[in-house]
Amino acid sequence: MPGSTTTSAPTVDLTLEDALRTVTEALVATGYATEEAAVIADHLMDCELRGLSYAGLARAVSIIERLRTTEPPQSIRVDRETPVSAALDGGDQVGYLVAAHAIEIGLEKARAQGMAVVGARRTWYTGMFSYYLEGVVDAGFVGMIAGSGPAVVAPYGGTEARFSTNPIAFGFPTVDGPVIWDIGTSSITHAEVTLARRLGEPLPEGKAYDAAGLPTTDPAAALQGAFAVWGGHKGSGLALVVHLLGMLAGASAAPQGVSDCGFLAVIVDPSILGDAADFAARAAAFAESVRATRPVEGEAAVRVPFDRSAALRTAIRRRGTIEVSAPVVETLRQIALEK
């Protein structure tokens, strides 16, 4: 992922069962129903299994902090609906719940109509889009998800925030497993910067500006200023388009604070355009041809998006433990005791 950082903060090894219990108990203690906590915790644990610790248990602390400083959320509701579409008001619920509901609706409509477009507004912290696309691909469908949010990223050539981190992801079914490409259009994610601030860690050089527009490695200053966009002028253009797709879902162009993120999902059944089994076979063959590309001398073999995630998740499940920041674990356990 663009801008991945490492931490030198003390860590502890947790079994997968203990990690899941730790985050679930903290979420329940904060007021989530057991079923809701299970949905959120499964997503956060998948981040840990894929080596994205800043989006794993650490994100649960951010969720809880946000809940304690805002009004209670409302119910998720469908504002508009057609046989192939739905527009959701997330009710200021955390995005892990809103997006899961949106994808469930989208899959039901795609099964019935061959395709679906589902949007959601008034939500926040939606997590990894690849997590949702795995479910879409497992159902045999092709999917695209785009999301917007509060302004934290400067466009190429600028130092003031106009874009969100604006992730976009695509997923395709193949006979050999999913091909999923999931990126953020910022050079560093909001979760990485938040975790760096929590742990007192500096950011990498060239990733952010302070409020005066000067380059900074201070995460607190970066959160008051702007992150750099990923991919130069091309990444900046992609960030703009993704932001507009989030606005198409009904989200504000510049929401205040961590709020009103836009979520737009398009789900397509390959059979409406041709033979779905044939596509899955051809897609697998093409992906394999990409992997078989002659690598640059001295470099590792070429990978297809999601290969790394799948391999790492398998390895960590086999190992049975994850390494988690000790302050994060301590905080979650303390929250659970406050119930």
Average pLDDT value for the chain: 96
CATH of domain 79-186+229-272: 3.30.1370.60
Between strands 115-124 and 85-94, the pairing is: parallel
* Mean pLDDT, residues 260-278: 98
Q: In b/e form, how buried is each residue of 89-124, taking b as 16+ CB within 10 angstroms?
A: bbbbbbbbbbbbbbbebbbebbeeebbbbbbbbbbb
pLDDT given for residue 9 in this prediction: 77
Distances (CA, A) of 125 to 42, 43, 129: 15, 11, 11
The reported pTM is 0.93
Is residue 105 predicted with pLDDT exceeding 90? yes
Two tokens, residue 64: 């809880």
Q: Where are the domains of the chain?
A: 11-69+311-337, 79-186+229-272
pLDDT given for residue 2 in this prediction: 44
Is residue 334 predicted with pLDDT exceeding 70? yes
pLDDT digits (tens, 9 = 90+) for 273-316: 999 999 999 999 999 999 999 999 999 999 999 999 999 999 99
Distances (CA, A) of 92 to 41, 66, 77, 88, 282: 19, 11, 11, 11, 42
Q: Could you say which DSSP state residue 214 is in?
A: -
| Chosen CATH of 11-69+311-337 out of 3.30.565.10, 1.10.1530.10, 1.10.540.10, 1.10.10.350 | 1.10.1530.10
Torsion of CA 87, 92, 93, 98, to 10 degrees: 20
Percent of the chain with pLDDT over 70: 97
* Amino acid occupying residue 254: A
* Mean pLDDT, residues 108-126: 98
Confidence class for position 8, pLDDT limits 50, 70, 90: low
pLDDT given for residue 3 in this prediction: 42
